[in-house]
A = this chain, B = another copy of it.
Amino acid sequence: MYDTGALQQRITERLSELGIPQLPGNLYDPIRYMLQIGGKRIRPLLTLMAADLFSVADIEEAVPAALAIELFHNFSLVHDDIMDNAPLRRGHQTVHEKWNPNIAILSGDNLLIMAYGQLANCPADNLPAILKTFNTMAAEVCEGQQSDMDFERTDIVSIDEYLNMIRLKTSVLLGAALKMGALIAGADQTNAQSIYSFGVDVGIAFQLQDDILDVYGDPEQFGKQRGGDILANKKTYLLVKAMEMADVATRTELRAWLADTDHPTDKIDRITAIYNNLGVRSEVESAKQLHIERAYTALDTIPVQSNRKTPLRQLAQALLNRRQ
Contact = CB atoms under 8 A, between A and B. Distances in A.
Contact of A135 (B23, B82, B101, B120): B120
Given A79-B105, A82-B102, A127-B127, A110 B149 contact: no
B139 A114 contact: yes
A143 B24 contact: yes
A138 to B, nearest CB: 4
Nearest to A85: B102
B114 A112 contact: no
A139 B24 CA distance: 11
Given A116-B131, A139-B113, A139-B114, A24 B105 contact: no
Interface in A101-118: 101-103, 105-106, 108-110, 112-114, 116-117
28 contacts: A23-B143, A24-B143, A24-B146, A27-B146, A79-B106, A82-B102, A101-B101, A102-B149, A103-B149, A105-B105, A106-B145, A106-B146, A106-B149, A108-B109, A112-B112, A113-B135, A113-B138, A113-B142, A116-B131, A116-B134, A116-B138, A119-B131, A120-B128, A120-B131, A120-B135, A124-B124, A124-B128, A131-B131
Interface of A: 21, 23-24, 26-27, 79, 82-83, 101-103, 105-106, 108-110, 112-114, 116-117, 119-120, 124, 127-128, 131-132, 134-135, 138-139, 142-143, 145-147, 149-150
